[in-house]
Amino acid sequence: MPDAGDRHRDMNRYYEERWENPSDPRDFVFKQLNALVMERLQDGKRQTVLDVGSGKGAIVSMLRQRDYAINAVELNETFAKSLRKNFPQARIIEGDTNTIEVSGRFDVTTAIEFVQNLDETSVRKFLARTAQATSSVVISVSNRQSIHGLWVAYRRFQKSFVYTYIPKQIEAMLEDAGFVVTYRKGVWLLTPIALLPDFRLPLIPAWFARIVNRIGDRVFPRLCHLY
Ligand SMILES: C[S@@+](CC[C@H](N)C(=O)[O-])C[C@H]1O[C@@H](n2cnc3c(N)ncnc32)[C@H](O)[C@@H]1O
């Protein structure tokens, strides 16, 4: 069982290698999620936003296009450095969003593909802190009750730093923190899964998933990989 330090190092290494990587078979899945987030973000008109777990900056980049005044929190030192370089107009804060002080109030908080790195106690803490500092939140979860979630658990592919949630659970946690859920959507009912670790021997061809998902995502949002 890896300790907290090992988990942190594994997480950094994993995201540095895999995130926003066009050769990762899930890249187009995340791109579709990002397109949905972009659609949901209205014109910022210099409203303030806090983006948590900014990674390599895909969401920060969309927020800039939408003209938000951007604050971003990122735990990984390397990512924080490159965010500062790539987005000089944004305030980039390096650290754990649940322990550092982030001054200010925000019109919107974005947490895309982020709470998957928090256990349930930490998600609750994060949402409680977020509710103090923001009026609205755009959030995604990796769905435990999706084909993807069930498969990675069954095959024991799930990384020690990844936590999956079911849609009902995250909605209940949001409500407990004082938020009212006003929009929900599922992305990718059928998603790339493979027989072997690191996506070797893929089982669902992307072309087939695309066809099924056109209708499947609408009919079964709560069974999609991302919610
Ligand atoms: C899966 S990536 C998502 C990146 C970005 N939101 C996107 O959608 O492109 C998750 C990011 O959250 C960061 N992270 C994980 N735990 C964190 C924490 N407690 N505080 C701040 N950032 C964290 C990781 O370092 C990683 O860069």
Residues 70-75 have a mean pLDDT of 98
Residue nearest to atom 13 of ligand 1 (CA): 53
Residues 167-183 have a mean pLDDT of 98
Residue 122 clears pLDDT 90, i.e. is over it:
yes
**Contact residues of ligand 1, CB 6 A cut-off:** 15, 19, 52-55, 58-59, 73-76, 79, 96-98, 112-114, 117
Residue 23 clears pLDDT 80, i.e. is over it:
yes
Give the number of the atom of ligand 1 that is nearest the alpha carbon of residue 110. 6
CA atoms of 49 and 71, how far apart (whole Å): 6
CA of 75 relative to ligand 1 center, distance in Å? 7
CA atoms of 17 and 84, how far apart (whole Å): 20
Residues 19-34 have a mean pLDDT of 90
Residues 200-213 have a mean pLDDT of 89
Backbone φ and ψ for 139, nearest 5 degrees, come out as -140, 145
CA atoms of 135 and 153, how far apart (whole Å): 35
Residue 27 clears pLDDT 90, i.e. is over it:
no
Q: CB 142: neighbour CB atoms within 10 A? A: 20
CA of 111 relative to ligand 1 center, distance in Å? 8
Domains and CATH numbers, the chain: 4-144+158-184 (3.40.50.150)
The model's pTM: 0.95
Element (H, E) at 9: helix 4-18
Residue 127 clears pLDDT 90, i.e. is over it:
yes
CA of 42 relative to ligand 1 center, distance in Å? 23
- pLDDT at res. 112: 98
CA atoms of 42 and 107, how far apart (whole Å): 12
CA of 12 relative to ligand 1 center, distance in Å? 9
Token pair belonging to 24: 């990762």
CA atoms of 92 and 83, how far apart (whole Å): 7
Q: CB 86: neighbour CB atoms within 10 A? A: 14
What are the helix (H) ranges across 87-183? 120-133, 147-154, 167-176
Backbone φ and ψ for 74, nearest 5 degrees, come out as -145, 135
Over residues 179-190, the pLDDT tens digits come to 999 999 999 999
Pocket test for ligand 1, best of 61, 74, 158 (most atoms within 8 A of CB): 74
Give the number of the atom of ligand 1 that is nearest the alpha carbon of residue 58. 9
Residue 1 clears pLDDT 80, i.e. is over it:
no
